[in-house]
């Protein structure tokens, strides 16, 4: 049994394809298949059901692959011991980030991070919460930046900042007539919200204390995963929407006049770096966290006078 063979069976399990697994491992498909077969012969069991498409692990294969992931993680710690002794950070850091956070922090921190750590290759995927959680469990990314709590016992959450929600209104919105608002002031029939699958949608519904699906605009139903699109819908089609506070940075003075803040305690979201419990690349992840903290305003580093919305 070799580390390479364990890497191959984990890859097949992750991508559910021998061809794709070989591509991701930078070997030919026959080479990967031969090594997987050798491991099966050594163990005396079949790890995969090759008759199914996509390829699926057998019952005992699931248990062995789970242990293989642990062994690979532990083997990587040997490399990390060496890296930690080196003064300069180096290597790859694979990050998943949700689309309602990504456009407001990534452009602000990427340049500074790369300048400070030129030997680190930052690889970022913009994904939904569900996708990031799945990738973390599979070990295909090192950390996620997303709204928490997730209530996932096998993941560790490191809170970074607490971001208030605000209302962005059109001139015709009922909310525009008020200086400060409360959740009770919101009429869901005039609110543009994200489609299902985005955690911020659930947080907005929780602000409005309406967990069930909402009727929305009577003559039009629009599904989007973009906060920026929600702003444009308000600008051109009336109504209102709920925005994370960092989204206000690029608004014009005219648009800022349409923002309405909630009365205290203000609804807010907790944004965290999420990792596997047995995580690697501690120094790189800590460096990323510090870079984010340098950017976010001081008021977002505390959750005082804020009501955190669950997802």
Average pLDDT over residues 96-115: 94
CATH number of the domain where residue 74 is located: 1.10.10.10
Whether the per-residue pLDDT at 296 is higher than 90: the answer is yes
Residues 249 and 275 in one domain: no
Residues 140 and 185 in one domain: no
Tell me the C-alpha distance between 119 and 129, whole Å: 29
Residues 8 and 143 in one domain: no
Tell me the C-alpha distance between 178 and 185, whole Å: 9
| Structural domain boundaries enclosing 203 | 162-267
Domain end residue (candidates: 63, 83, 103):
83
| pLDDT at 219 (0 to 100) | 45
What does R_g of the chain's alpha carbons equal in angstroms? 23
| Three-class DSSP labels, 52-69 | CCCCEECHHHHHHHHHHH
Q: What mean pLDDT is reported for the chain?
A: 89
Tell me the C-alpha distance between 57 and 9, whole Å: 9
Q: What is the DSSP string of the chain?
A: --HHHHHHHHHHHHHS-HHHHHHHHTS-HHHHHHHHHHHHHHHTS--EETTSSS-EE-HHHHHHHHHHHHHHHHHHHHHHHHHHHSSS--EEEEEEE-TTTHHHHHHHHHHHHHHH-TTEEEEEEE--HHHHHHHHHHTSSSEEEEEE----TTEEEEEEEEEEEEEEE-TTSGGGG-SEE-GGG--GGGEE-PPTT-HHHHHHHHHTT--S----STT-----S-HHHHHHHHHHH--EEEEEGGGGGG--HHHHTTEEEEPSSEEEEEEEEEEETT---HHHHHHHHHHHHHHS-GGGG--TTEEEPP-
Cβ–Cβ < 8 Å for 9, 138: no
Residues 222 and 289 in one domain: no
| pLDDT at 223 (0 to 100) | 62
Tell me the C-alpha distance between 57 and 60, whole Å: 8
C-alpha 287: how far from its chain's center?
18
Residues 184 and 69 in one domain: no
Domain end residue (candidates: 83, 113, 134):
83
Residues 292 and 148 in one domain: yes
pTM summary value: 0.78
Residues 57 and 114 in one domain: no
Does 77 or 29 have the greater pLDDT score?
Answer: 29
Q: At what angle do helices 282-295 and 59-85 cross, to 10 degrees?
A: 70
Task: Indicate the number of domains in the chain.
Answer: 3
| pLDDT at 42 (0 to 100) | 95
Residues 12 and 36 in one domain: yes
Burial class (CB in 10 A: 0-12, 13-18, 19+), 167: buried
Nearest to 165 by CA among 233, 102, 256, 259: 259
C-alpha 76: how far from its chain's center?
23
Residues 40 and 122 in one domain: no
Residues 272 and 127 in one domain: yes
CATH number of the domain where residue 245 is located: 3.40.190.10
Residues 148 and 170 in one domain: no
| Range in 194-198, 228-232, 300-304 the model is least confident about | 194-198
The 10s digit of each residue's pLDDT in 6-42 is 999 999 999 999 999 999 999 999 999 999 999 999 9
pLDDT tier at 213, thresholds 50, 70, 90: very low
Domain end residue (candidates: 83, 104, 139):
83
User: How do strand 266-276 and strand 306-308 relate by DSSP bridges?
Assistant: parallel
Tell me the C-alpha distance between 186 and 86, whole Å: 54
Residues 166 and 263 in one domain: yes
| pLDDT at 139 (0 to 100) | 84
């Amino acid at each position: 049994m070799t580390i390479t063979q364990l890497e191959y069976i984990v890859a097949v399990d992750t991508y559910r394809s021998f061809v794709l697994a070989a591509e991701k491992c930078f070997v030919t498909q026959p080479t990967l298949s031969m090594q997987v077969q050798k491991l099966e012969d050594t163990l005396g069991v079949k790890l995969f059901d090759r008759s199914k498409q996509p390829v699926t692990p057998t019952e005992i294969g699931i248990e062995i692959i789970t242990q293989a992931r642990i062994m690979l993680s532990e083997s990587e710690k040997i490399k990390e011991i060496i890296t930690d002794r080196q003064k300069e950070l180096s290597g790859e850091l694979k990050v998943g980030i949700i689309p309602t956070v990504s456009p407001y922090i990534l452009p602000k921190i990427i340049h500074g991070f790369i300048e400070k750590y030129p030997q680190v290759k930052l690889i970022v995927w913009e994904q939904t919460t569900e996708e990031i959680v799945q990738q973390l469990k599979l070990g295909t990314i090192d950390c996620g930046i997303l709204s928490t709590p997730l209530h996932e016992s096998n993941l560790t959450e490191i809170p970074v900042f607490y971001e208030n929600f605000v209302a962005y209104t059109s001139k015709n919105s009922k909310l525009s007539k008020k200086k400060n608002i409360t959740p009770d002031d919101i009429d869901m029939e005039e609110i543009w919200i994200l489609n299902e699958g985005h955690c911020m949608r659930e947080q907005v519904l929780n602000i409005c204390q309406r967990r069930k699906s909402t009727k929305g605009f009577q003559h039009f139903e629009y599904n989007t995963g973009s906060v920026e699109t929600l702003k444009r819908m308000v600008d051109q089609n009336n109504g209102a929407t709920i925005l994370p506070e960092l989204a206000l940075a690029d608004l014009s003075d005219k648009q800022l006049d349409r923002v309405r803040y909630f009365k205290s305690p203000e609804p807010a979201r907790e944004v965290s770096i999420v990792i596997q419990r047995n995580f690697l690349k501690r120094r790189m992840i800590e460096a990323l966290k510090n870079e984010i903290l340098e950017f976010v305003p001081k008021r977002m580093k505390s959750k005082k006078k804020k009501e955190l919305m669950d997802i």
